[in-house]
């Protein structure tokens, strides 16, 4: 009997629907700035009309995002399934106009970050034009409990998700004002939900004050967080109400944009 050799994984090309869909998603994951329909069809070898049908369905479900120039990229729904560069690029692109307006209205550094385990990961930073400033680099991590946007995000997680984080926290004191107990952290998070924003009053860096707010996507799930950061000599107690109003407005606007994108793509827009 002739021996039947198993097909090599490297030579196997999936031809079913699922295989074609994964080919499209994997290509977009490798292309953070997105691709148009024609390029996607050519690079995957999928018939253009078939690719269009798949892409439209994925966009309609929120797995892909299509911008005004017709480029497809990883969408907000996939953002919750992973923290790859493509999903981060999509989030940054949707948020950037709002963040630029926030920097213009406050004059301070604006940060966009996601929650990654017990840390926050900065994925976009718009620096203030002031000479005196402290800037967090893109890709930098900080413990969530010492940052305003980190606490804002965790405050909007489910109780089960919060408890999972509490079980693994090992507090590190960054400044004398850093929270160092779960009991105090829980109290802060409850207050954050009530007031709609969080305040880092020299908890991460001495002399720096930050205000943060959570960005919520579909079903009000936490997607990211934004913050305004600057020296206490500029973000003064007297100016806090103005900064608070601006950070909350910006967070609502980005959250609305994410939800609108998901709704419009589902409706075939």
**CA pseudo-torsion sign 218, 222, 223, 224:** positive
For residue 258, CA distances in Å to 76, 124, 183, 212 come to 7, 17, 33, 18
Q: Among the listed ranges 26-30, 190-194, 263-267, which one has the minimum average pLDDT value? A: 263-267
For residue 222, CA distances in Å to 52, 106, 136, 150, 250 come to 30, 24, 21, 11, 15
Q: Span 7-15, mean pLDDT?
A: 42
For the domain bounded by 17-74, which CATH number is listed? 1.10.10.10
pLDDT tens for 124-161 read 999 998 887 676 788 889 999 999 999 999 999 988 88
Shortest CA distance to 204 belongs to which of 234, 182, 244, 172? Answer: 172
pTM above 0.85, yes or no: no
CATH architecture of 85-264: 2-Layer Sandwich (3.30)
Segment 16-20 long-range contacts (CB within 8 Å, at least 24 positions apart)? 17/54, 20/44, 20/46, 20/50, 20/51, 20/54
The answer to whether residue 85 scores a pLDDT higher than 80 is no
Q: What is the pLDDT of residue 102?
A: 96
Q: What is the pLDDT of residue 269?
A: 43
Using only C-alpha atoms, the chain has a radius of gyration, in whole angstroms, of 21
Q: What percent of the chain has pLDDT over 90?
A: 53
Whole-angstrom Cα distance, residue 191 to residue 145?
A: 14
- In sequence order, which residues have a C-beta less than 8 Å from that of residue 30 and are 6 or more positions away? 86
Give the residue carrying structure tokens 């994951």.
29
**Domain boundaries defined on the chain:** 17-74, 85-264
Q: What percent of the chain has pLDDT over 70?
A: 86
pLDDT band at 213 (very low <50, low <70, confident <90, very high): very high
Q: Is residue 211 within 8 Å of 240, Cβ to Cβ?
A: yes
Whole-angstrom Cα distance, residue 145 to residue 168?
A: 12
Q: What is the pLDDT of residue 9?
A: 41
């Amino acid at each position: 009997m002739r021996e039947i050799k198993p097909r090599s994984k490297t030579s196997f090309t999936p031809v079913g629907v699922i295989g074609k869909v994964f080919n499209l998603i994997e290509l977009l994951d490798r292309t953070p700035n997105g691709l148009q329909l024609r390029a996607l069809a050519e690079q995957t070898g999928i018939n253009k009309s078939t690719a269009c049908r798949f892409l439209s369905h994925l966009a309609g479900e929120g797995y892909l995002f299509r911008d005004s120039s017709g480029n497809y990229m990883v969408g907000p729904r996939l953002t919750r399934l992973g923290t790859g560069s493509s999903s981060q690029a999509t989030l940054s692109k949707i948020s950037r106009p709002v963040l630029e307006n926030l920097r213009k209205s406050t004059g301070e550094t604006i940060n966009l970050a996601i929650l990654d385990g017990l840390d926050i990961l900065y994925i976009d930073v718009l620096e203030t034009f002031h000479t005196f400033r402290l800037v967090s680099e893109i890709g930098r991590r900080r413990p969530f409990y010492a940052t305003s946007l980190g606490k804002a995000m965790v405050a909007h997680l489910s109780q089960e998700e919060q408890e999972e984080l509490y079980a693994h926290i090992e507090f590190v004191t960054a400044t004398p004002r850093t929270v160092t107990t779960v009991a105090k952290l829980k109290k802060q998070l409850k207050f954050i939900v009530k007031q709609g924003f969080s305040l880092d009053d020299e908890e991460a860096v001495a002399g720096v004050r930050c205000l943060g707010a959570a960005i919520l996507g579909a079903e009000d799930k936490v997607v990211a967080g934004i913050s305004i950061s600057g020296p206490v000599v500029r973000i003064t107690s007297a100016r806090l109400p103005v900064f608070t109003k601006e950070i909350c407005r910006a967070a609502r606007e980005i959250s609305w944009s994410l939800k609108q994108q998901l709704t419009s793509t589902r409706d075939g827009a």
